[in-house]
């Protein structure tokens, strides 16, 4: 999994209230070119959503599980077909127990948490919640951690995505500004429109 090669440098975060709507959301995003998605395990029947999306999208799709809190969560997500795992932080259970050998995005906010995530072997540090410090905080973190890949998550819209990428984020994780209410049964045409707007905004940045 190469974070700098994600389409539009974007990881879509699908956190829904309805399993069928969440599945439709993942599939519509893929149709619209936003092909990297994580399904939060807080979504009802999230493992079913991952299983079905994997069947639809094939073995090479960038499809992961989010809100992974324990080694058991990680194992179940891997069995369901997740190709990467995302945690909001690094808890003791994950430290103490073996997890599947899948790429991990580990949540961190403070310098000590960044060090812990990096020592654990994270593919990237999920800067969360990024909205607390904004792009300026990421810029400050990159001074002592120039080699750590950061993926800001939390309160990311198109404007802030561009700002984070400008100060060195390798990708951004985006939830409701892109997903809206689609994963709860909302209008899929509106989702397609938001995806088109997102593609336009991020394409201009990447081409710049």
Residues tagged active-site: 38, 126
Long-range CB pairs of 31-35, under 8 A, 24+ apart, other chains included: 32/191, 32/192, 32/195, 32/196, 32/199, 33/7, 33/8, 33/195, 33/199, 34/7, 34/8, 34/10, 34/178, 34/195, 34/198, 34/199, 35/7, 35/61, 35/62
Cα separation, 3 vs 144, in Å, equals 21
Does residue 73 sit in helix, strand or coil?
A: helix
Q: Which residues contact 188 (CB under 8 A, 6 or more apart)?
A: 24, 25, 28, 182
Does residue 98 sit in helix, strand or coil?
A: coil
């Amino acid at each position: 999994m190469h974070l700098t090669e994600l389409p539009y440098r974007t990881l879509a975060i699908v956190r829904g209230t309805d399993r069928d709507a969440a599945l439709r959301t993942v599939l519509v995003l893929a149709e619209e070119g936003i092909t990297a998605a994580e399904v939060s395990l807080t979504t009802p029947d999230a493992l079913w959503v991952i299983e079905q999306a994997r069947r639809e999208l094939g073995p090479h799709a960038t499809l992961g599980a989010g809100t992974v809190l324990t080694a058991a969560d990680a194992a179940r997500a891997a069995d369901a077909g997740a190709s990467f795992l995302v945690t909001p932080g690094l808890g003791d259970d994950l430290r103490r127990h073996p997890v599947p050998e899948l790429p991990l995005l580990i949540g961190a906010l403070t310098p000590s948490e960044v060090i812990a995530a990096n020592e654990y072997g994270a593919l990237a540090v999920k800067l969360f919640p990024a909205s607390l410090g904004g792009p300026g905080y990421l810029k400050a973190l990159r001074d002592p951690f120039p080699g750590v890949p950061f993926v800001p998550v939390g309160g990311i819209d198109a404007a802030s995505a561009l700002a984070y990428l400008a100060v060195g984020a390798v990708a951004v994780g985006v939830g409701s500004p892109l997903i809206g209410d689609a994963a709860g049964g909302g209008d899929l045409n509106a989702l397609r429109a938001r995806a088109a707007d997102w593609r336009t905004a991020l394409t201009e940045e990447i081409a710049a």
